[in-house]
Every structure is written in structure tokens, then in C-alpha cells.
Amino acid sequence: MKFKIEKMKWLIPALALLIILESILVVKNTPIGKGQVADKLPLPQSTQPQKEAEISLQGEETASLGETSRMGVVLLAKETLMLDGVDVYINYDPETAEILGIDPSDKFSYVARNWIEPEEKRILISLVEPSALEGVKINGGEEVSLAVIEFKPLTAGRTEFEIYSPGEAKGTVLAGQGKEYSFTKENLTIRINK
């Protein structure tokens, strides 16, 4: 049996067209979204950024009226961070507590801003370490004291200190190497005894 190539030229394009049409029909009849194939698709990933650190206020949960008390501003790194500086914003009630002073920690020895604004009911602490040109390294899992706040309770009852982020609530006040890190926060409520 002899084949003539000229008569067979139409066979290859015809077979290709047949395969394309069959593929279209198979894809069209695939039950995506009806539970069979859709169940095997990967789950969508969360678009929320992972929090690289936690900042908390730590101290005694009770204080005595008129006596000086202290609380710490503590950072817990969830991954290794290289920080140029840290801004910590704290809301408080100046009717129930008077802020006496703020001392920096060992990691950040210089307080660039130490604004105690009773009329705005807030504190702003900006900490930097000028001697660390590449930034302060905080290893993952390491807990670091950022500052110690001294205060005096003014009235019996309860007072709350709350870490917050200015502007948007995205929580980026840790900065290092041109990057802002996100964090979670833990506030401190203190019962004031007479």
C-alpha cells in the first residue's frame, strides 16, 4: 500500500483540531465548584501579614494610692529583627495616674522622644541606639525590655494603660533597615488600692 504524502497533509491538522475540540468539551463539563474537583484545590492563603513581634506592658496588677509604681514596656520577637528604633504609643487616663518618668532599656539607650501629654491622654516614647549602625539585633524568641515607666496612682479604683498605633490600625511602629515590622499588643489594667 502506497501513501501519497500530498493527500495526507490534511490528516495532521484534522487530528489536531479533533484533540482541541475534545479538550474543550472535557474542560467545559468538569464540575468545578460542584464539590468534586473544587475540594481538591488548595485552600486560599491568608492575606493578613504575620506579626513579627509582640509589645506588652508588664507590671503589678495592683498598686497603692499615692505610691510610686513601675511597669515595663517589653518586646517579644517572634522572628529575628534588626531594629533602628522603636516608637511606642500608650493611652492612659491622667485622672487616675500621673507619669513620673521613663527610663530606656539596655538595648536602646537613647530616648529620642519622651512625650508625656496628659491633655491628650497619651505617652510617646521613641527609642534608638546610635552606636548600632546596622540596627539592634533581637533574636527570634528573645524578650527585651524597651523602657520602664514610673507612675503614681491618683485615685482609688482602676486604671488602664493601652498600647496603640497612630493613624491606621496596622500596628507598625518598629522600624529597621528600611522596613516596618508589624506587631500584636497586650495592655495592662491596674487596680488601685487605698
129-170 pLDDT tens trace: 877 777 788 898 999 888 899 999 999 898 899 887 665 443
Burial class, 20, CB count within 10 angstroms (exposed 0-12 / middle 13-18 / buried 19+): exposed
Domain 53-193 has CATH 3.40.50.300: no
User: For 32-74, how does the pLDDT look when each residue is reduced to its tens digit (9 = 90+)?
Assistant: 554 444 444 454 444 445 568 888 888 888 888 889 999 988 8
The residue to which cell 521613641 is assigned: 126
* Pair 32, 112: CB distance under 8 Å: no
| pTM for the structure as a whole | 0.66
- CA 102 to CA 174: how far, in whole Å? 19
Q: 128-143 in b/e burial notation, b at 16+ Cβ within 10 A?
A: bbeeeeebbebeeeee
Q: Which helix (H) or strand (E) holds 176?
A: strand 174-176
